Each structure stands twice: as C-alpha cells, then as structure tokens.
Structure 1
Amino acid sequence: MIDDSKQISEVTVSGLTYEEALDNGLQILGVGKDMVDIEVIDHNDDDLLPNAKPLEGVTLKLRPRIKDIIANAREHLAAVLELMGIDAKIETLESSHGPVLNILGKEDGALIIGKQGQNLEALQYLINRMATRGGMRGGDTQPITVDSEGYYEKHYQRLEDLANRAARRVLRDERVMEVAFPPMPASDRRLIHMILREVHGIHTISRGEGLARHIVVTGDRMEVIGSPLGETRFIKIRMSFDGQSGNNNNNNAPRRHRNGNRHHGRSNNYGRSDEATPQNNQNTPTPEPKDSNEA
C-alpha cells in the first residue's frame, strides 16, 4: 500500500476568495480539484450578511490523494501501451523513491525500455504529465516511476552507488574539493540531487548547458563539530598556479632601497663601483632582500 503522507505533503494557502485560494493550492501541487481533499481553516466573512459578499482572507488546506493520482497514471499508461500495440499487465509497487508502475511482459521489454532506457524515460515523463495535469510540483513531491523488468530499479541503484561513492570521496579526502559526473539526462540529475540532499556536508550543483550539463558533488558545506548551535560554514576555495612562484610580473621594474636610491636590472653589487658595498662600508644600510630568483 502506498503511504500518502510520504509521497506528497499537504499545502496551506490563502486568498481573497475561496476560488483564488483553491487555484493557488492546485497550482502549487500540480493536480486537479478532483484529486485533493479540501479543508477550510479560516475565513473572514460578514456574520450578519454572509451571502452579501464573497469570502475574504480564506485559508485552505489541500491534501492530494496520491491513490487517485496513481490510478489515473495507471489508466493513462495502459492506454499508451495499447496504442503501441503492447499487451502487458501493470502492477503498482512502492519503493524508497516513490510509487512505481511496473510493466510486466518480457516479450516487449526491449521495445518498452528502448536504447539506454530512452523509451522508458519518455513514458515516465508523459505519464506523469498526463496523470497530474501539469506534472508533480511542490516541495517534497516525487514523480511516479514507470519500470519494466526491473530496469529502472537497477539503474537507480547504480546511480545511488555512484552518488554515495562521490560523496565519500569528498568527505574523506581533504584534497578532493569536488567530484564531477559525466553529462546525463535531467531525470538522472534529479535522482542524484534527491539521493544526496540529506547527506551532511555535501552539496550538489548542475553545470554546463544542453548535452554537456552534468552534476558536480562538492564539499562546500562543512559541519562544525562541537557547535551547540549546529553551525554550518560554507567554504569554497579557488587556487591557481602559474609555475613561477615568487616571480614579480615586472622583474625589470626599478626598486627603491632603504637609502632612497633606485636599483635597475639585476645587478649583484647594488650599484656602480662609485657606491660602497655593504661589506666595505658599515654605514650603508642593509639592502632589501631580493626575490628568490635573483639571489
């Protein structure tokens, strides 16, 4: 059985009228009116003439009925499979990452899954859009997974292993600032974001554009041990090295010594022969140290 509370959280919305508040809530959840339970929490109407004007300051609580959404998705999936000429049974399962519609039938498994799961991914996107009338949206919403022959579940486990391995590298090796994944489709990026969002000290971001867009796992968030407030510090360091440590960009620029004289070039005796060297004249101030490449 699917646990409603674990899949889509309720939402509390307000509006000047009942209709406005209801529309706001349905847009947030991305479902139709027939798929939610509605509770009026508060409204400020005229006690004397309740029908004289519309409600003002209405607050509603909407709870999506996940069972209705899944049933709707199952009907749409069966219709799409029929259009594809596929006669298969559909079972409803529950997984750690949300509800699953599993298509049974090995004969058409290759057609349903497609190359690298592309057909299955397209089916999943289409069914979620159709079943929820605009797609699952909101804080903790999770899409309905469409699977066949356990392909998606195996794919999810593979992504979960890769994500956890990347997180361990960032957390355990202080030399590793970030781990970048190869480019992947939006559905896979979303799964990795979801898998690692509860891991302390780990932050995931998307970089790149188009086909080059990929996930980067960073250790930007570092939990401060022993802090009574559970303080979190954000650390990001970018370093560059040009291979010429200690070099000045303009080695030929004149430098002023303590005695006020200018020194040009790379002379080793701090001036011409008419100037006393530090070894021969103790009254001459000690010159400034040279750069490491001039010593």
Structure 2
Amino acid sequence: MKKVTASGKTIEAAVNSGLEQLGTTIDRVKVNVLEQPSRGLFGLFGARPAKVELTLIEEPAAAEPAPAEAEPQEAETAAVEDVMTDAGGSEDEEVAFFEEEDSEPQDPDSRSGEGGAEEAAEAAERFLREVAGAMGITIDISRSETRDGLKLAMSGGEDMGLLIGRRGQTLDALQYLANIVASRSSRERVRIVLDAENFRERRRKTLEGLSERLAQRVVRTGKEIVLEPMTPQERKVIHTALQHHPKVKTFSKGDEPNRRVVITLK
C-alpha cells in the first residue's frame, strides 16, 4: 500500500503536497494527521508546520480507463494563496487565492460509509446547510452532473457573499470540506464541485479577461509575467485562454503549493 508523508503551513497545504506526490485526488486516499500546525508565539517564534500521512486506497484490478483529456501544462492538485505580480514590477490586478487558516475536518482515515453517490451528495448537502445555518443563512441547493463532477449550486440571496468569501476563498474551503464529507459517506468516488450564485462562471470570465490583458502587456513590453501561486483550476483557465495566442505562451513552474503560471513571448 503506497504511503507518503507531507508537511505544509496548514493541514490543507500538507494534504495538497501529499496528493501532488501521489499524483491523485483527495477521494482516493486516506489521510492521517500526524501533527497539527502551530503558529508559535505571536506568529513569529516556534511555528510548526502541519504533518500528514496519505495512504493510497487500493482498488480491485480493472481495465485501464481511457486517459483523461490533457490539460495544458497542468496537473490536478490543490494550491494556496495568490496575488498578481510580474517579473518587472507590480500589477494592480489581483488573481484569486485560497488559504484555509484554521479548522480542518477530522482526518478521513477510513471510508465507513456504505452508501453510493446519492448518499454522498445528501451528506455533502447536509453539511453545507448546517454551515450556512450556523452563519444565519438559509440556502437552496441544486444538483447537476458536469464533466468535472457533481455540481452543487447554492443560492440564498444577499448573504451568499459570506459563503463565497474574498475572491472565492470561503467557497473553495467549503468545497474541500464537502468532498471529505462525501468521501466518508460513500464507497463510491464522488467529486463535489461547489458553486454559489454562479461565482465560478463569473470568476472564469474575469480570469480570461485578465489573461488577455496580461498577454497584451507581455507583447508590448517584451517582459514575461509571473503570477503568484494559484489553484490548479485557475491556472487551467489562464493556460486555456492563451493556448492559441499567436505571440505568447504559458507554462507552470514551481511545486505545490507555490506553483504558478508564467506568460512569456513565444
């Protein structure tokens, strides 16, 4: 049984690092938290990173699945924190980032659930409603199947911004936790894609527009632009938006959780 040990600033970051090493996703591993992170005195002295052990869940031998569609220069992992900068100076446009600072769910060291995809989805919905209820928000949730997984779309009016957070940070955190809840409730692999008030689509359009403006800047100045660490999904948006650009190209560099996109001349 394949295992890896990984560390990071938060449990989220440590898990992401382990997933990168195994080349897999959260629903295919068992997570054991070895050490909780510590901020140290005043956040300056004695800080200790989180440490986790990930065990790959073995599956019965089966026919090899068809290879997934290649993503432009990307592997599916998780990332943290992100602000827009470039190699030659500052940029006043920012790109989203996600960093979960505090609580983590209990480590999913076993899949005790006996149900299937329906039970997993219901468990995730219950979790989301409980979280929203604790914040004084009543939400409606609709389901739909997408190529990326089971989409749970939340709606609830003006207060939904609290569940989305600054540039989607809270929404990303809820998606991560909802996937763990779903994973523990079912022996079937169910990937939850969480959205709220169509935020994902609006964010995608924002990133596409930003990528075009940055490409023009690279062409104009001749200098490459380096983005600060982004989530794999947002890196993919940048890569896809510029993959057919006649004058610039993109690639990713660095290791999770500090992997970033570079836009440069061809």
Same fold (TM over 0.5): no
TM-score by length of 1: 0.39
TM-score by length of 2: 0.43
Larger of the two Rg values belongs to structure: 1
Higher relative contact order by CA 8 Å / sep ≥ 6: 1 or 2?
2
